[in-house]
Amino acid sequence: MSETFRKDHPNRPTLRHSLLAGVAILGALGVAVPLIADLNSTPAYAETQGMVQSMPSFADIVEKVRPAVVSVKVKVESAADTGEDGGGMMIPDLPPGHPLEKFFKQFREGRGGHKGGPKQFGLSQGSGFFISADGYAVTNNHVIENAVTVTLTTDDGKTLDAKIVGRDPKTDLALLKTEQPGNFPFVPLASSAPRVGDWVVAVGNPFGLGGTVTAGIVSARGRDIGSGPYDDYIQIDAPVNRGNSGGPTFNLKGEVVGVNTAIYSPSGGSVGIAFAIPSETVSSVISALKDGGSVARGYLGVQIQPVTPELADSLGLKEPKGALIAETQPGTPAADAGLKPGDTIIAVNGEAMATPRDVTRHVSQIKPGDSAKITYLRAGKEQVATIKLVALPETKMAVADPALAKASPAFGLALAPSKDGNGVLVTDVDPNGVGAEKGIGKGDIILEISGKQVVKPSDVRTAIDEARKEGRKAVVLRLKGEDGMRFVALAFPKG
């Protein structure tokens, strides 16, 4: 019963009095009724007490770790818009026609999207955290990119000048070092990955508000959001917004399990889907940046693509796993070791590889000059090659092109000999055919079918007819297109 109700009706009996009066009337009529306990002895919220006590409190963890979290303020030279939020959280571009498209265009232009004239300077903010008592701090590369000056603001309001020790755009990590001496509070990186469903706490500087704490759980692991060749994000549902970039996500031990980097946000604000770089990646990259200011990665020299069920069946593989080599770069470790297009990498140093991304990530973690044991399948037989890796060239990366996963040309193709006699040119594609549906394009060149070179359209027809007679479900084509080399499975229609 509300206090207002009681004041407005001072003579009206309370709910408890009404109930007891009703019991007395029933008793007077001779109706057997159970004894009702005094309502004051059992509060309405009593049953929730155990639930409240079982819920975690993050206060002790936050009190322990928050002094190590800093606000990162950056003076930048304004440039054309990058699609980011000015040192905050990376967000997808708004689709054409979106109601806020004009607003954000004006906002970005106001931040420095001007061409010509004198140099423009602006300020951006993000988050970071100390990882050592002598003032080394971690943040995102996109927070400090194009920085003229960097300052750190601690939880107690102190401002510290900082320099950039090194940065790694491929993983979006950067290492800073405060130029002031001191014994700074710091937090450790977790040695093990969190499990899906574990509680996590994010601390950062959303919208420039200063130390802000949010909590949630690990929603997923191993997320690839297309931001780089080494995507391996932890997905969390703790509210993360612009300005949280570079800030830490903690487990309940107060260890950093990830660095908040990106959000999925159609609206520009948090919708409960955030992505953090896992601590194992942070540890290896930051260690390399501290030692040399950059990250040296191993390079194998192959272009790889996923193994689809059709390709697996055509190649005689038991299951669609591993990374199919579409091309080996001349003069690279892979070519020197004898790896060929059509080989399927299934393990690196004894660890099974399920996808091309697994291969890319594991090879990149091997230091140039060290050897890697590459297990691969050729014609259905397992083989092993020990290959000494070289440094990854800046312009080349052994990655799987996302387009390759979608490409699987089939019938509906017009063919002609190529100009140089090396392969068969696709001159036209039926827009309603399976070829167009699977991604084959005009101008692609068919180099091989089922491992046999083709130089004229009749070679293609012959190879397809032979495969049919042998009872195969599909043939494997090796194509050359704008995206480089790739393998595709050409499945025969059923019936």
User: Using 50, 70 and 90 to split pLDDT, how confident is the model at 268?
Assistant: low
**Distance of alpha carbon 165 from alpha carbon 186, whole angstroms:** 18
CATH class of the domain at 298-398: mainly beta
The pair phi, psi for residue 387, each rounded to 5°, is -120, 130
- Topology, domain 58-295: Thrombin, subunit H (2.40.10)
Q: What is the C-alpha end-to-end distance of the chain, expressed in Å?
A: 75
- Which amino acid is residue 315, in one-letter code? L
> Of residues 134 and 118, which shows the higher confidence score?
134
**Distance of alpha carbon 305 from alpha carbon 321, whole angstroms:** 11
Mean pLDDT, all residues of the chain: 78
Same fold for the domain at 298-398 and the one at 407-491? Answer: yes
**3-class DSSP assignment, residue 430:** coil
Give the Å distances, CA to CA, from 335 to 14, 215, 397, 492: 89, 49, 15, 33
* Beta carbons within 8 Å of 425's beta carbon, 6+ residues apart: 415, 416, 417, 418, 419, 443, 444, 445
What residues are annotated to the active site?
142, 172, 245
> Of residues 406 and 457, which shows the higher confidence score?
457
Model pLDDT, residue 40: 52
CB half-sphere exposure, 256, CA atoms < 13 A: 32
| % residues pLDDT > 70 (the chain) | 73
Model pLDDT, residue 333: 95
User: Using 50, 70 and 90 to split pLDDT, how confident is the model at 6?
Assistant: very low
Other CB atoms within a 10 A radius of the CB of residue 317 amount to: 18
User: Using 50, 70 and 90 to split pLDDT, how confident is the model at 96?
Assistant: low
Please give the average per-residue pLDDT across 288-292, as a whole number: 90
Considering only 2-16, 216-230, 244-258, 341-355, which range has the smallest mean pLDDT? Answer: 2-16
User: Using 50, 70 and 90 to split pLDDT, how confident is the model at 343?
Assistant: very high
**3-class DSSP assignment, residue 346:** strand
**Distance of alpha carbon 112 from alpha carbon 289, whole angstroms:** 30
CATH hierarchy code of domain 407-491: 2.30.42.10
Pick from 448, 444, 452, 436: nearest CA to 415: 444
Model pLDDT, residue 97: 56
**For the chain, how many residues are written?**
495
Model pLDDT, residue 3: 38
pLDDT one-digit tens code per residue, 362-404: 998 898 999 999 999 998 899 999 999 998 886 443 333 333 3
**3-class DSSP assignment, residue 130:** strand
> Of residues 466 and 191, which shows the higher confidence score?
191
User: Using 50, 70 and 90 to split pLDDT, how confident is the model at 415?
Assistant: confident
Q: What does the domain layout of the chain look like in residue ranges?
A: 3-49, 58-295, 298-398, 407-491
Query: Looking at the predicted structure, is the pLDDT value of residue 249 above 70?
Result: yes
